[in-house]
Structure 1
Amino acid sequence: MMKSNQAVSSLWQIQIAASFRGLMMATIGLSILGVQSAQAATIGSSSVPWVSENAKSADSFVNSIGINTHLHYSNTVYARFNDLIKPKLLNLGVRHIRDGAYTYAGVKSSSFYYERLRDLASKGIRFNLVTSVPTRSLPQTDYRLLSQLYTWTNGSITSFEGVNEPDLNLRGKSNWFDITRNSQIKLYNTVRSDPKLKNVSVIAPSITTVKTKLPSLAAWSDYGNLHNYFGGRHPETTGWGGNGYGSIAWNKQYVAGAITGSKPIISTETGWYNALQGPNTPYGTPEDVVAKYMPRMFLSQFNSGIRRTYLYELIEQKTDPTYSQTFGLLRSDGSEKPAYKALKNLITVLKDPGAQFTPGKLTYAVQGDTTNLQRALFQKQNGDFYLALWLGEQSWDPTTKTRLSVASEPITLTFTDQVGAITGYQFNSNGSLSTFAINPVNNQLSLKVSDRLVILKASPAKLLSLNTLSMPVSSVRAAAIALDPLAENDLGFDRNLQAIPIPTLLPSAIGLLIQALRQRKIQRLQKQENEF
């Protein structure tokens, strides 16, 4: 009898503990609901410019970054593949490069170019390879070899691209567009008819300027193409000609859109050159200014919906002051320009490789002069949000070749969700990164935003939410029946459910706890009676 009473006593302790745990979880949930309700009331205030923004995956942005290389060049600094090019490329962190689909006579898997591609592929780098028609410098691509190129790169080709700048490279040929169109049709049909290439995309040719109405190539392209250089201006420019000529929006509509319509777009070339004094350098831009523009450019292109952007290019090919040789992130001796450091830091801060996930939403308000304020919101798999902020203003006048002073703008950020300490990443004009911490007061913080990118990492407090808490049905049923055979009916849960949300359990949890305590008292009195 005594053993049986001990067993019953232990059972009731377990049941009371379970009920109490459920009650406490529900109570915490109610408290949080109260906070959320108060916050919702605050959001309703017309004086605060609240935005509820869906974040993008931080790693999807990193995956949109690419760069141009010339790995097949043996008479330039690219000959230093092992001791310079590969280490700098891997250190940069870029995962996508654009180069050529070389099918010249005698080419094979063991050709040095494809050995280099396989080497990089083993490190996770993927390729967009450009095809060609006969020009003064390039032979016709042999489309019959595309499947072999895919094999030679160990399946690391993500896309084949149509003819590079045919309106320039076929200059003087009145039928240049017919040549371009025919080659694009052949490229597309070759790729689509080969099962091995089923996951390889086809990018349209890169026409530089559409001056006349051209026939559509949308039927033979998966992506439109842009070569949208900024002419020494900032990436957020609204243009410097009619209809916004030169802006990202203009290029999307009047260049890529003109021949591929509403197809998604990849920018296969863009950037700035640094030559300021040499011949033919009207749009040269200082290295420190490009360091400011570089991360902003990738963010702006991503914000505009451009799927991937390939910067031109990794390294200056020769020591030459002319504009064509000063596009590189690296100088010809391999030394890093500020823009190289800035891009590397951008990738380091935002990279988040791993499984794909659906990013959440962040509700916040920005107060202050937001006329030129640009922003981008990302989230990582661990739940941390990354809010990129910068002023989309010009720091250099390419016409007068003078620096422009950009005043910082003070802003106030307010979050509706509880956030802990915020980590800030300030990008500097020399490409370096400064890290700082801010402790929000009442979920609010103030800072100054300039033409130099700043990224704020916010980690929402891991609060329990009433709507996300649940208890296994089996546990609830066992406790309910043990306490009272009729309690199961009182709970009113669906027998097919595996778990019951705490909001459903809250009234019953309170009742069960009271009932358990009462029943426990009755048992204790009965036990005393028996012992007496």
Structure 2
Amino acid sequence: MIESIAAVFSAGTYALQVFTGQPLSTDYGMTVAIANTVRERAKPADTFIDSIGIATHLRYIDTSYGRFEDVVEPRLRELGIRHIRDGGNDPKMYAKMRRLGAQGIRSTLVMDPRDNITPQNVVDQVKQALPYVAGVEGPNEWDVNAERMSYKGKSFPEGLRNYQADMFRALKSDRATANIPVLAPSMAQPENGKKVGSLAAYSELGNMHSYSGGRVPGQDFDWRWLPLTKQFSGDRPIIVTETGYHNAIHDRVTTHKAVTEQVSAKYIPRTYLEFFNRGIKRTFIYELMDQRPAPDQENNFGIIRADGTPKPAFYAVRNLIRILNDQSGSSAPGSLSYYFSGNVKDLRHTLLQKRNGDFYLVMWLNTESTDAIKTQRVTVNLLTPTKAAATFLPNRSSSATATFSAPRRVTMDVPDAPIILKVVPK
């Protein structure tokens, strides 16, 4: 018997089919399908959720971030995110970090001599946010204005290298901060990393600012960003401390292509997934809020508008987290046997598993997006015995869009935003 379900959503019509109750044929077609079966080991859903971060500017109280109590704090809690990236030399900022930390939101701190943070006072700075510090990061993008940056009379790159080394030694010499991971400094242009040379001796994590310039997530990642970043990060695991998209569609002087709010809502969840698939330990989207109600690029990177109202990307990330969230520290040793059929061109996926054993197969099209939805008909053929399944569209809702009993295959129109197939094994 074939059960066909069609569901209509705001972004378009998605046709889903579930096949149940029929013995599997052993004809040629099934033989080929079995030969192409993938037995894939899942990654823990909790590990993916812990890889999601966002940049903030808690000390910029003359911007939208000044609305900490009525916008920033409650929206971060609603978002469900566990990690923020921020920095500065401001006791009030650290007090906000401690307040967020008590609610499960930890901070990665940027340390920079431009904020009068020196190796002599860096430990005291970090202690103000303890015990909620996930990492300490070296200076931010010194290569942008290299001739104006200086440490102990040395400019970029020697001054940056010396600062990182002195900061690292200071943090590791104090018991309170010795076990906090230290990130390498960031480069605006990864080509400049080779001027600094390897900082692996003075960092435990690499650092990357891999913006895609308004193009698909992961643009130029494999041939440019990753190999060039390794020139100064060595073989350290990498954290992307900045990446993102701005919505200043009327800014004509920017070299960073703008995208609409609807396109950001597709690209940002895909960014988290694409980078996770590539082994990035954590990805911080830049940034939480538009800083001011201005039409230029720099004031339009947020997933929340300057007036405090969420953009579509906020809800897309929130729903993705709600669907995939799991208990901290969980593991996923299981594997799922399945294969794709249909139009699989540009199809990407991530397979996750929660502690209760349920699998979550996240799929999307790796394609340039517009406000219009793009879809391709794809079938997920399940060889692992399955008790139940459900589909989710995070850009629409955190609730299931369809549920199925004991399916052997599920056919759906995969869009250019994530669609999730939950599989409950027998």
Normalising by structure 1, report the TM-score: 0.70
Q: State the Cα distance separating 1:82 from its structure 2 match.
A: 0.9
Summarize the Cα distance change of 1:193–1:423 in structure 2 as closer, same or farther, 3 Å threshold.
Answer: same
The answer on 1:227 being equivalent to 2:205 is no
**Aligned match for 2:251, one of 278, 284, 296:** 278
**Aligned match for 1:191, one of 151, 171, 175:** 171
Aligned residue for 2:137?
A: 161
Summarize the Cα distance change of 1:442–1:112 in structure 2 as closer, same or farther, 3 Å threshold.
Answer: closer
SS of the aligned residue for 1:128 comes to strand
Alpha-carbon displacement from aligned partner over 1:46-79 (angstroms, at most 9, x marks no partner): 4442111111110110101111111111211211
**Percent identity, aligned pairs only?**
36
Summarize the Cα distance change of 1:217–1:151 in structure 2 as closer, same or farther, 3 Å threshold.
Answer: closer
Contact 2:247 2:261 (8 Å CA) reproduced? yes
Contact 1:369 1:410 (8 Å CA) reproduced? yes
SS of the aligned residue for 2:313 comes to helix
Q: Which amino acid aligns with 1:156?
A: Y
- Cα distance in 1 for partners of 2:319, 2:360 equals 14
Aligned residue for 2:375?
A: 408
SS of the aligned residue for 2:139 comes to coil
Aligned residue for 1:450?
A: 415
**Aligned match for 2:184, one of 204, 215, 238:** 204
SS of the aligned residue for 2:135 comes to strand
Q: Which amino acid aligns with 1:350?
A: L
The answer on 1:80 being equivalent to 2:54 is no
Contact 2:243 2:285 (8 Å CA) reproduced? yes
Summarize the Cα distance change of 1:95–1:249 in structure 2 as closer, same or farther, 3 Å threshold.
Answer: farther
Q: State the Cα distance separating 1:229 from its structure 2 match.
A: 0.8
SS of the aligned residue for 1:420 comes to strand
- Cα distance in 1 for partners of 2:259, 2:280 equals 24
Q: State the Cα distance separating 1:172 from its structure 2 match.
A: 5.2
Contact 1:236 1:392 (8 Å CA) reproduced? no
Instruction: Give the helix-richer structure, 1 or 2.
Output: 1
Contact 1:204 1:223 (8 Å CA) reproduced? yes
SS of the aligned residue for 1:423 comes to strand
SS of the aligned residue for 1:427 comes to coil
Bigger-Rg structure (1/2): 1
Q: State the Cα distance separating 1:365 from its structure 2 match.
A: 0.8
Q: Which amino acid aligns with 2:182?
A: V
Alpha-carbon displacement from aligned partner over 1:138-168 (angstroms, at most 9, x marks no partner): 3331333333334322311111101100101
- Cα distance in 1 for partners of 2:344, 2:281 equals 27
- Cα distance in 1 for partners of 2:277, 2:51 equals 11
Summarize the Cα distance change of 1:420–1:410 in structure 2 as closer, same or farther, 3 Å threshold.
Answer: same
Contact 1:226 1:266 (8 Å CA) reproduced? yes
Contact 1:421 1:437 (8 Å CA) reproduced? no
Contact 2:119 2:163 (8 Å CA) reproduced? no
Aligned residue for 1:299?
A: 273
> RMSD of the alignment, in Å?
2.4
Contact 2:387 2:407 (8 Å CA) reproduced? no
Contact 1:410 1:447 (8 Å CA) reproduced? yes
- Cα distance in 2 for partners of 1:259, 1:341 equals 36
Contact 2:135 2:180 (8 Å CA) reproduced? yes
Aligned residue for 1:141?
A: 117
Q: Which amino acid aligns with 2:269?
A: P
The answer on 1:54 being equivalent to 2:41 is yes
Q: Which amino acid aligns with 2:128?
A: W
Alpha-carbon displacement from aligned partner over 1:270-322 (angstroms, at most 9, x marks no partner): 00000111242350100001111111110001000000001100101111000
The answer on 1:375 being equivalent to 2:349 is yes
Aligned residue for 2:15?
A: none
Contact 1:50 1:363 (8 Å CA) reproduced? yes
- Cα distance in 2 for partners of 1:379, 1:458 equals 9
- Cα distance in 1 for partners of 2:425, 2:134 equals 36
**Aligned match for 1:181, one of 161, 175, 187:** 161
Aligned residue for 1:288?
A: 262
- Cα distance in 1 for partners of 2:207, 2:173 equals 22
Q: State the Cα distance separating 1:41 from its structure 2 match.
A: 12
> 5+ unaligned residues in a row in structure 1: which ranges?
1-37, 238-245, 397-402, 462-532
SS of the aligned residue for 1:190 comes to helix
- Cα distance in 1 for partners of 2:242, 2:267 equals 15
Aligned 1:62-101 pairs, distance under 5 A:
62-101=49-88
Aligned residue for 1:23?
A: none
SS of the aligned residue for 1:458 comes to strand
Aligned residue for 1:217?
A: 199
Q: State the Cα distance separating 1:437 from its structure 2 match.
A: 2.3
Aligned 1:320-359 pairs, distance under 5 A:
320-359=294-333
- Cα distance in 2 for partners of 1:334, 1:168 equals 30
Summarize the Cα distance change of 1:73–1:441 in structure 2 as closer, same or farther, 3 Å threshold.
Answer: closer
Q: Which amino acid aligns with 1:414?
A: N
SS of the aligned residue for 1:413 comes to strand
Alpha-carbon displacement from aligned partner over 1:217-276 (angstroms, at most 9, x marks no partner): 111111111111111111144xxxxxxxx335521112x112112211000000000011
- Cα distance in 2 for partners of 1:154, 1:279 equals 43
Q: State the Cα distance separating 1:438 from its structure 2 match.
A: 4.2
- Cα distance in 2 for partners of 1:117, 1:445 equals 44
Alpha-carbon displacement from aligned partner over 1:398-425 (angstroms, at most 9, x marks no partner): xxxxx6x664221221112211231110
Aligned residue for 1:459?
A: 424
Q: State the Cα distance separating 1:44 from its structure 2 match.
A: 9.8
Normalising by structure 2, report the TM-score: 0.87
Contact 2:323 2:398 (8 Å CA) reproduced? no
> 5+ unaligned residues in a row in structure 2: which ranges?
1-23
Q: Which amino acid aligns with 1:226?
A: M
- Cα distance in 2 for partners of 1:182, 1:72 equals 27
The answer on 1:418 being equivalent to 2:404 is no
